[in-house]
């Protein structure tokens, strides 16, 4: 990922980014950061980049011409480096106390960009005409006024960079932390076991990972309730719905309860009569209507302005109101398989399973036909697809779909009947168990081979059917 920072004070940026995690990611090439001096682009013979505001008023304004030319030079550079086509614009973030408030979710979204340009104002601001020409987003880091955009830009770079794969040492550490799932982080302890008369909580020394996870969750809940009642309220609503869904039908609603407990979905509606969740990352809507009479109302909770997308309809009676509101292009009837047992499945030593990277794209595409090239590429890049290797050769693969279900399974014809599918699924189930998930997948109705495999591995398959609908 490449950051470009337009500023009158490049040293401020360079000094701020050279150490610790950012410094390391810059040194090993996972990130690049360039502080570009706006003053280098002024056409003024004295090197001036600011002037008095028309109409009077205090202070100086940064002029339009150097800001605009500086931006053009960066865009040219990006075009050369990344092969951008004409018209494709990089996001340009103007740091201003008048902007939209920066938050963790925005950091996550921006971490997916290949290039970001930050524009730091100084003095009283920037000539509006330059802003109109180049800025795509106005962002504030808080309700206070700083002397310039350099510190806010560094704050944003830091928060975004640590979400870029490979920047933090431990791939998990960006997941389970403050603001994950609307909870604050649990307390942490390091050596020695006793310090200043205080002991490390005993459960953390027990080696029992299930107990440790439960203790941490309970601590997070206590801390959030005390320090951030606003966040806790959101969390409690999600928790209540998760419990309700599990109680009603654990298998059928596993996608919704897992979406909530993995901290992913946005809750659009939760009531006695049903719920609507939007998995923003996957752009999938999940609908549940607990009785036929509320189906219409549940469909009405889908925001107006939505004209297409993927929907999981957990009850058949949701179909008529969906078909009245949208043109349903495709629907697929499925049953849900869940692995309830909580204990890891045994694995054979003969079949090695490894994560596949994007270099396997053409091989995976040649065998998997339920997703577009773009989708498969995204899944590979996310590290969500795993290959089984027999005698050193790829024999099949399985993955985690973008909304969290297990699937994308394919065993190549010449390797079938050797237990490779069971190995792949056992591996994926164990992986999800190690993350504290309830492993689940969709079985397309009529896929007898898959049903047989689910039963063999001890998964529970829902009697109830649900629909994947594309509108």
- Shortest distance, CB of residue 451 to ligand ADE, whole angstroms? 55
Stretches 137-145, 163-171, 396-404, 410-418: which one binds ligand ADE (CB under 6 A)? 137-145
Residue 125 interacting with ligand ADE (CB under 6 A): no
Residue 16 interacting with ligand ADE (CB under 6 A): no
Residue 138 interacting with ligand ADE (CB under 6 A): no
Residue 142 interacting with ligand ADE (CB under 6 A): yes
Q: Which tokens go with 171? A: 């791939």
- Give the C-alpha separation, 373 to 365, whole Å: 7
C-beta of 54 vs 144, nearer to ligand ADE: 144
- Give the C-alpha separation, 35 to 117, whole Å: 10
Stretches 53-61, 146-154, 256-264, 442-450: which one binds ligand ADE (CB under 6 A)? 146-154
Residue 141 interacting with ligand ADE (CB under 6 A): yes
- Give the C-alpha separation, 8 to 5, whole Å: 10
> Are the C-beta atoms of 18 and 44 separated by less than 8 Å?
no
Tally the C-alpha atoms within 13 A of residue 228's C-alpha that lie toward its C-beta: 15
Residue 95 interacting with ligand ADE (CB under 6 A): yes
Residue 260 interacting with ligand ADE (CB under 6 A): no
3-state secondary structure of 84: coil
Residue 96 interacting with ligand ADE (CB under 6 A): yes
Strands 460-470 and 310-313: antiparallel
C-beta of 66 vs 149, nearer to ligand ADE: 149
- Give the C-alpha separation, 409 to 387, whole Å: 10
* Helix H or strand E segment including 23: helix 20-27
- Shortest distance, CB of residue 182 to ligand ADE, whole angstroms? 24
Stretches 144-152, 246-254, 263-271, 404-412: which one binds ligand ADE (CB under 6 A)? 144-152
Q: Which of 97, 125, 263, 436 binds ligand ADE (CB under 6 A)?
A: 97
Q: What is the DSSP string of 374-427?
A: HHHHHHHHTT-EEEEEETTEEEEEEEE-TTS-EEEEEE-GGGTTSSHHHHHHHH
Residue 152 interacting with ligand ADE (CB under 6 A): yes
Stretches 134-142, 338-346, 347-355, 360-368: which one binds ligand ADE (CB under 6 A)? 134-142
Q: What is the DSSP string of 362-377?
A: HHHHHH--SS-HHHHH
- Shortest distance, CB of residue 150 to ligand ADE, whole angstroms? 9
């Amino acid at each position: 990922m490449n950051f470009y920072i337009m500023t009158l004070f490049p040293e401020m940026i360079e000094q701020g980014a050279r150490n610790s995690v950012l410094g390391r990611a810059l040194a090993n090439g996972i990130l690049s950061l360039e502080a570009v001096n706006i003053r280098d682009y002024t056409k003024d013979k004295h090197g001036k980049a600011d002037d008095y505001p028309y109409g009077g008023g205090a202070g100086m304004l940064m002029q339009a011409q150097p800001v605009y030319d500086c931006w053009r030079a960066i865009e040219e550079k990006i075009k050369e480096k990344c092969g951008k086509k004409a018209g494709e614009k990089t996001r340009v973030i103007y740091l201003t106390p008048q902007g939209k408030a920066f938050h963790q979710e925005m950091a996550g979204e921006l971490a997916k960009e290949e290039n970001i340009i930050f524009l730091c104002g100084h003095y009283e601001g920037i000539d509006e005409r330059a802003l109109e020409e180049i800025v795509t987003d106005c962002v504030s880091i808080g309700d206070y006024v700083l002397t310039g955009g350099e510190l806010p830009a560094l704050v944003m770079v830091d928060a975004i960079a640590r979400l870029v794969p490979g920047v933090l040492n431990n791939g998990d550490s960006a997941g389970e932390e403050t603001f994950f799932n609307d909870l604050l982080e649990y307390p942490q302890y390091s050596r020695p076991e006793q310090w200043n008369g205080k002991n490390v909580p005993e459960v953390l020394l027990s080696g029992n990972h299930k107990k440790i996870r439960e203790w941490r969750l309970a601590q997070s809940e206590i801390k959030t309730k005390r320090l951030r009642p606003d966040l806790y309220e959101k969390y409690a609503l999600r928790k209540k719905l998760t419990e309700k869904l599990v109680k009603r039908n654990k298998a059928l609603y596993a996608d919704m309860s897992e979406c909530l407990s993995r901290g992913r979905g946005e809750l659009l509606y939760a009531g006695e009569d049903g719920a609507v969740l939007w998995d923003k990352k996957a752009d999938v809507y999940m609908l549940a209507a607990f009785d036929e009479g509320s189906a219409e109302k549940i469909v009405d909770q889908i925001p107006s302005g939505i004209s297409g997308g993927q929907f999981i309809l957990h009850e058949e009676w949701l179909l008529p109101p969906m078909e009245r509101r949208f043109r349903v292009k495709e629907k697929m009837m499925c049953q849900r398989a869940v692995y309830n047992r909580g204990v890891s499945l045994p694995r054979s030593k003969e079949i090695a399973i490894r994560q596949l990277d994007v270099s396997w794209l053409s091989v995976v595409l040649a065998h998997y036909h339920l997703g577009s090239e773009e989708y498969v590429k995204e899944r590979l890049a996310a590290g969500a697809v795993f290959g089984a290797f027999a005698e050193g050769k790829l024999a099949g693969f399985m993955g985690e779909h973008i909304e969290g279900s297990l699937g994308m399974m394919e065993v190549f014809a010449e390797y079938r009947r050797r237990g490779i599918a069971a190995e792949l699924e056992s591996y994926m189930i164990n992986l999800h168990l190690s993350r504290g998930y309830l492993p689940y997948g969709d079985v397309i109705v009529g896929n007898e081979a898959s049903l047989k495999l689910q039963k063999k591995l001890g998964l529970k398959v829902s009697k109830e059917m649900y629909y994947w609908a594309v509108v």
